[in-house]
């Protein structure tokens, strides 16, 4: 009887861990990977680009300001 209770408890723990893992995967999938971001910010407005520092560097190069 103890073995049956332990087996059921273990099954519940495994199912909970699987559910947590699936939620983590789903959360990571919704985050936009760095590789899919535009290479230069000319494609999008710099305020929309997550690479704001890169945009600032590009603006400085084009305007000649340092």
In tens, the pLDDT along 20-43 reads 999 999 988 887 555 555 555 555
Rounded distance, CA 53 to CA 32, Å? 18
The answer, as to whether pTM is greater than 0.75, is no
Rounded distance, CA 52 to CA 66, Å? 16
pLDDT band at 13 (very low <50, low <70, confident <90, very high): very high
pLDDT score at 46: 54
Q: Bigger pLDDT: 47 or 10?
A: 10
pLDDT score at 30: 82
**Per-domain residue ranges of the chain:** 38-66
Please compute, for residue 37, the number of CA atoms within 13 A of its CA located in the half-sphere on the CB side: 15
pLDDT score at 29: 85
Q: What is the dihedral of CA 12, 14, 15, 16, to 10 degrees?
A: 90
């Amino acid at each position: 009887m103890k073995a049956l209770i332990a087996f059921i408890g273990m099954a519940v723990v495994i199912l909970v861990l699987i559910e947590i893992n699936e939620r983590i995967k789903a959360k990571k999938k919704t985050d936009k990977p760095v590789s899919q971001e535009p290479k230069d910010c000319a494609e999008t407005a710099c305020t929309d680009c997550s690479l704001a520092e890169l945009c600032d560097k590009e603006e400085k190069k084009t305007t000649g300001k340092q």
